[in-house]
Structure 1
Amino acid sequence: MRPLIVIPARFAASTSALRYSAVVTARALSAAVLAAGGEPLTVHPEGDVTRLSFADGVLLPGGGDLDPARYGQPTSSDEVYDVDTAQDEFDLALARWALDTGRPLLAICRGLQIVNVALGGTLDQHMPGAHRHVVHGVRVEPGSRTAGLVGEKADASCFHHQRLDRLGAGLRPVAWAEDGTVEAAELSDVDFLGVQWHPEDTAAGDPAQQALFDALVTAAGRFARRSDRCSSPGSGC
Structure 2
Amino acid sequence: MTAGPSGRPLIAVPARFSAGATALRYAAEVTARALVEAVWRGGGEPFVMHPADPAGAAGRLARCDGVLLPGGGDLHPRHYGADGEHEALYDVDEEQDAFDLAVADRALAAGLPLLAVCRGLQVVNVVRGGTLRQHMDAEHRHVVHPVTVEPGTLLAKVLDAGETAASCYHHQDIDVLGEGLAVTARAADGTIEGVELSGGAGGGWFLGVQWHPEDTAATDPAQQEIFTALVTAAAGRRDEGSAG
TM-score class, shorter: over 0.9
Q: How does 1:190-201 map to 2 (within 5 A)?
A: 190-201=204-215
Aligned with 2:51 (options 26, 29, 45)? 45
Q: Distance in 1 between matches of 2:62 and 2:86?
A: 38
Partner of residue 195, structure 2:
185
Percent of counterpart pairs with the same letter?
58
Q: Give the drift of 1:161.
A: 0.1
Q: Distance in 2 between matches of 1:75 and 1:12?
A: 25
**Deviation string, structure 1 residues 182-237 (Cα, Å, up to 9, x no partner):** 0000103431000000000000000100111011000000111122xx469xxxxx
Q: How does 1:1-237 map to 2 (within 5 A)?
A: 1-47=7-53, 48-50=56-58, 51-150=60-159, 151-188=161-198, 189=202, 190-227=204-241, 230=242
Q: TM-score, normalised to structure 2's length?
A: 0.92
Q: Distance in 1 between matches of 2:51 and 2:78?
A: 19
Farther off after superposition, 119-128 or 180-189: 180-189
Report the 3-state secondary structure (helix = DSSP H, G, I; strand = E; otherwise coil) of the residue aligned with 1:46.
coil
Structure 2 residue identity aligned to 1:69: R
**Deviation string, structure 1 residues 62-99 (Cα, Å, up to 9, x no partner):** 00000000011133410011110010000000001001
Report the 3-state secondary structure (helix = DSSP H, G, I; strand = E; otherwise coil) of the residue aligned with 2:107.
helix
Q: Give the drift of 1:16.
A: 2.0
Report the 3-state secondary structure (helix = DSSP H, G, I; strand = E; otherwise coil) of the residue aligned with 1:169.
coil
Q: Distance in 2 between matches of 1:30 and 1:57?
A: 13
**Deviation string, structure 1 residues 107-147 (Cα, Å, up to 9, x no partner):** 00000000000000000000011000110000000111101
**Deviation string, structure 1 residues 8-36 (Cα, Å, up to 9, x no partner):** 00000111221211110100010000000
Structure 2 gap segments, 5+ residues each: 1-6
Q: Distance in 2 between matches of 1:172 and 1:128?
A: 23
Q: CA RMSD in A?
A: 1.2
Farther off after superposition, 49-58 or 156-165: 49-58
Report the 3-state secondary structure (helix = DSSP H, G, I; strand = E; otherwise coil) of the residue aligned with 1:115.
helix
Q: Distance in 2 between matches of 1:72 and 1:209?
A: 33
Structure 2 residue identity aligned to 1:193: L
Moved over 4 A (4+): none
Partner of residue 235, structure 1:
none
* Matched pairs, number: 230
